[in-house]
Amino acid sequence: MKSLAELKAIKEKMKDKVVLREGSANIRIVVGMATCGIAAGARPVLNTLVEAINEGGLSDKATVTQTGCIGLCQYEPIVEVFEADKEKVTYVKMDADKAKRVVEEHIKGGKIVSEYTIGASK
């Protein structure tokens, strides 16, 4: 059974790390979580991204955040990748498997998965 003692142990472990991590990630992954995104399947996409980034040891490199409607509802679920000094990459019609591939190839490997981008889908 999960206990508050276990949560306390997490706190002890994390309290020093958190300060270090603030602002160190230079890639920001943003998932559209308005009604359109949620209905199209954004929740598993978001959760897969969070898991893949953290389990893959990439949390110092990238953060995953949620946003509202991006304005392209017909292309939801949408994932945007912002990286310092680079052009924004917009991935469209995402699902959990595509999200895993984006983390592996783009975030980890530095190579954009062009077939999932909005340019490829138009």
Partner 1 sequence: MKEISLNILDIAENSVKAGATLTEISVLEENDTITLVIKDNGSGMTDEVLKTVTNPFYTTRTTRKVGMGLPLLKLEAEMTEGSLTVESKHISEYPNNHGTVVTAVFYKNHIDCTPLGDVVSTMTTLIQGHPDIDFLFVHKTESVEVCLDTREIREVLEGVPLDTYEVIKWIKEFLNEQYIN
Q: Is 77 helix (H, G, I), strand (E, B) or coil?
A: coil
How far, in Å, are 25, 44, 52, 81 from residue 29 at the CA level? 11, 15, 12, 5
Q: Are 117 and 91 in contact (CB under 8 A)?
A: yes
Stretch of 4-12, 81-89, 95-103, 114-122 lying at the interface with partner 1 (CB under 8 A): 4-12
Of 13 and 122, CB closest to partner 1: 13
Contact pattern from residue 84 through residue 103 relative to partner 1, giving x for each residue in contact according to CB under 8 A and a dash for the rest: --------------------
Interaction site with partner 1 (CB under 8 A): 1-2, 4, 6-8, 10-11, 13-15, 18, 33-36, 38-39, 43-44, 46-47, 50, 54, 59, 64-66, 68-71, 73
